[in-house]
Structure 1
Amino acid sequence: MLIHGNKIRLLREQRGYTLSRFAKIVNISISYLSEIEREAKQPSLKTVSKIAEALNIPKNQLIKTTKLDSLGKKLKQVREEQGMTQQSLAEEAKLSAGLIGQIEHDKVQPSLKTIEKIASVLGTSPCYFVLESYDGEEMIPSFNPELRELLQDEQVQAVLRQVCTMNGEELKFVLNFIQLFKRSGLSEAGTSKC
């Protein structure tokens, strides 16, 4: 069992605990806690439970899971599900079959432009290939309370789903629009009426 030491440190600091104060709360030595945070030592499940309880998060959020699907594995799976060969995908995406093979074997990290071309041919969102396979909920405890509440809103979730289906140009347009909107001062005017 491997533990996210950096995550423990980050959450501890966000909650305003010093290393010594948090070690006292969890009832372990400062040096042992430091080693856990640096991932030099792996604690027992009992210690992980104490740390999780002190941070007020489920203990499974501190346990590392193996990365199930790399970009290459995801690409190969989608390509095969659609009955395409590396050659046919390469031709439609205007790439070399050798590059597709290297991506599928995780020998190269493709550019976003290449991922967009592949995703377009496969009718898939580029987000599917670049987002990690873990459940995004494990990141939520590190967010501030206002952001956590906002992410529970159905309209916000709908917007995030739409963002994941956008290509690079559409995403740039939306980001430019948001920047323009924020500069216009309308965002402050809208919040002051609430």
Structure 2
Amino acid sequence: MPPIAAASAVDERATHMGRCPSVASSRPDARLRSVLREHADYTARTLRRFGVTGAAAEDAAQQIAIVMARRLAEVPEGGERQFLFGVARRVAWSAHRQAMRHGENLGEELVDAVDATPNPEQVLELERARVLVVQTLQHMPAELRTVFVLHEIEEMSMAHIAVRLDVPPGTVASRLRRARAHFGSVAAQFRNE
């Protein structure tokens, strides 16, 4: 059952059976459905990455929807994705433990999965890229580096950066534009050395 259908089922059971008063009384139907719909693909990808596939993934998605329905009031606006990740991780771990107890395999796809560990050449290339980034960031002015790291590496929005640094949003945008240009030119110099 997809997470959205699971949310409807949870809400219906809560209303008729009174088992989940927070869902039944506050009726956060719209937010719950919106969160589950918006993050359905992310949740499915997360479960797959943790090795839960097939019917086990459908069961796990239902469990995640039930937990989200129960605890939605505790999840701050904008924190839904992080919450879903944590729940998916715990549900996947639980599914693995249960499968191990019963001698089941969570997904045949895992047997045929390609080994994702990097080979020595890839490790060397990753290390070179890491060194290039570090060297480039060291040559960047601090005010540009701060905005660049927060936006490009920490994936913060420009609005959040403006609040965090207590500067106008236009200043953040200008610094980010200058930082990207600086990063590109310095990285090109280091590549040529």
Give me the TM-score of the superposition, normalised by structure 2.
0.28
